[in-house]
Structure formats: C-alpha cells, structure tokens
Amino acid sequence: MFGELPKLTILVVFLILTLLYAIRFILRKEIPFVSYINYLWIYFLIFSVAEIFSFKIAVWILAILCFWSLREYFSLIDIRLQDRWGIIGAYLSIPFMIYYIQIDWYGMFIVSIPVYAFLMIPFLIAIGGKESKGIIFSTGAIDFGMFLFVYCLGHIGYLALYSRWMAIMLITNVVICDIITYFIQKKTIPVLKSIMLKYFISSPFTVLMTVLLSNWTTIPTGHSISLGLMIPVLIIIGNHTINYIKFDLGIDEKNMCPGRGAVIDNMKSIFYSAPVVFHYIRYFLK
C-alpha cells in the first residue's frame, strides 16, 4: 500500500489540476492564474504518463513544451529572411535531444546542443543567404533561444528519468518561489533588495519542502537542505533575467496571450534552475 503512495500522489495532483479545468469549463468561471496552472498541468501530465505508461511517451510531451516555448521566442524576435535555415536547425535539435534522453545516452545529450547544434546553426544561417550583415546577432539570438528553451528545459526530462520525485521537488520549489515573487513584485523596491527579500522569504519554505520530500526523492537530508537553499537563488536569478529579456522582446504584461509571451512568462523560473539542479544531483548523488 505504502509503496504505491508516491505514485498515487502524482496522480491525485494531476487529477486535482484536471478537475480545476473541468470546473472552469462546466461553470464557465475564470480561475485566477489559469495560464500558470496550464503549465503546471502539463508538467504533471508528463509525470503521470511516465508513471502509468512509460517514460518514453512522457518525454515526447516535453518535446512539445520545448517546441511551444521556442516557437514563441522565435515569433517575438526580429529575424531576417536569411535565418530561416538556422531556425529550422534549431527546431530540429528538439527531437534529437529528446531521443537521447529517451535512450538514456547522457554523453550525447550533454554535448548535442552546446557542441553540434551550436556549430551547425551558424553554418546553416551562412548558407541561407548572400547577405552577411547581421549574421552575428542572428546566430546569438537563435543559439540563445535554443539553449534556454530546448537544452535547459530538456534537463527536466533527464531529471525525471533519474527520479520523478526529484523533478517534482524542483517544480514545487518553483511554484513556491513564483507565488512569493508574485506578491513582492507588486511593490516598488530597489532591485537588489527585492531579490534578497524574495530569497529570504522563500528559502525556509523550499528547505522545508525538500526535506519533507526527501523520503521520496531519495536525497539525503544534508543534500536536501543545501538544495533547498540553492534552488531559490537559481529560480530568482532566472526569473529576474528572463523578465529583462521579456522587456526587450516587447512583451506587454497586460495583454499577454500564447504567442505573445504567455509561454515564456509562465515557465521563466525553470530555465535557470533545471540544469544546475540536475548537475548537482548527478555529481553528488549518482
């Protein structure tokens, strides 16, 4: 009975989130933060599919998530006509990376994008057109988007391959930090102070959460505490950075919709934390 408990918890959370959707659909009532819950639902869909069916199917749902966020980023940046082949290359990097996660080929997963795709994309841009002006900026913009929205997000998949609960631990910490960030962001405080404030308010909760979950994540208590202290730093740094990028992309906070910043905005906290947490766990615990 108790052996099944972790598995059941995932399903229950998933069902609750689905139920929220059903309520929204039937009663036609607007739930607050509906687009945020949307992405939470997708993460839990990935974990429940991995628990019930197989990880191989679940990781391809992550591919769709990567594709959506990358597509939104490319829709928002200013691209030249000559960059089209580079963008196709960036999209094609998703199935390759997901395949390496699926077959658990760590070495290839870790080099596929930072080595091969990074070298390939400037070449693809260069054969795309005769106009050479602006290629450096194009390369930078496309490579950066691919790195952040494909590679960093892909680490969640690999983390879930190690243990579902490690990935869920990360997601819960992200949720905690996002809630606290949301309330502090309303006030006008100098940047550094607000970052410190966010950290000191959220870190007790994240430490508590990681220690509470340490039975299921199978992370020793010492490492749980240090992860709980480390994760909010990464989340808050990532959150702040992506907010600045959002500003440059011309995302209007008031009328955000998918395609106009909603995807990036709802997932911004995960991009910085996922790779670092993954490598921490891999270095110390594997």
Partner 1 sequence: MRKLFQIFSLRIFIHLFILRPFVKLFFGINIQGRENISQLDRYIIVANHNSHLDILLLFCILPVKGILITHPVAAKEYFSKSKLSFYLINFLFSPVWIERGKPQERRDPLKDIKDRLEDRHNVIIFPEGTRGNPGEMKHFKSGIGRLAALYRDIPIVPVFLFGPERVLPKGSNIPLPLWNEVIIAPPHFYQGAHTEITHSLEKIINELEQSVKAFRHKRETVVKKSSITIAVLGIDGSGKSTLSRNLAQNLSVDGVSCLVSDALMFYENNQPKDMQPLITEKIREMIGGYAKKAKSLKFYKIPKLTELLLRDHLLDEIKRWYSTDFIILDGAPLLNLTAWTCLYKEQYFNKNTCSKAIRILTAKGEEFQKSDPIFKQFPELSSLKYLKLNHLKLPDVVIFLDVESAIACKRIDKRGEKKQVHETEEKLGKLREAYKLVCNVILEDWNIPTISIDGNKTVEDVVAETENYLKKFLKENADGK
Binding site for partner 1 (CB under 8 A): 67, 71-72, 74-79, 81, 84, 87-88, 91, 134, 137, 188, 190-192, 248-250, 252, 257-260
**Six-digit token pair at 2?**
């108790």
Q: How far is the CB of 189 from partner 1 (least distance, A)?
A: 9
* Type of residue at 279: H
> Which is nearer to partner 1, 27 or 81 (by Cβ)?
81
Q: How far is the CB of 75 from partner 1 (least distance, A)?
A: 4
> Which is nearer to partner 1, 137 or 200 (by Cβ)?
137
CB atoms within 10 A of CB 219: 25
> Which is nearer to partner 1, 3 or 190 (by Cβ)?
190
> Which is nearer to partner 1, 232 or 261 (by Cβ)?
261
Q: How far is the CB of 77 from partner 1 (least distance, A)?
A: 6
Nearest CA-CA partner of 59 in 70, 46, 71, 42: 46
Q: How far is the CB of 279 from partner 1 (least distance, A)?
A: 27
Nearest CA-CA partner of 251 in 65, 69, 89, 34: 69
Q: How far is the CB of 278 from partner 1 (least distance, A)?
A: 27
> Which is nearer to partner 1, 12 or 196 (by Cβ)?
196
Contact 172, 209 (CB under 8 A): yes
Whose structure tokens read 């930072």?
114
CB atoms within 10 A of CB 17: 18
Q: How far is CA 122 from the centre of its chain?
A: 25
Q: How far is the CB of 69 from partner 1 (least distance, A)?
A: 12
Contact 49, 57 (CB under 8 A): yes
> Which is nearer to partner 1, 254 or 286 (by Cβ)?
254
**Six-digit token pair at 278?**
């993954």
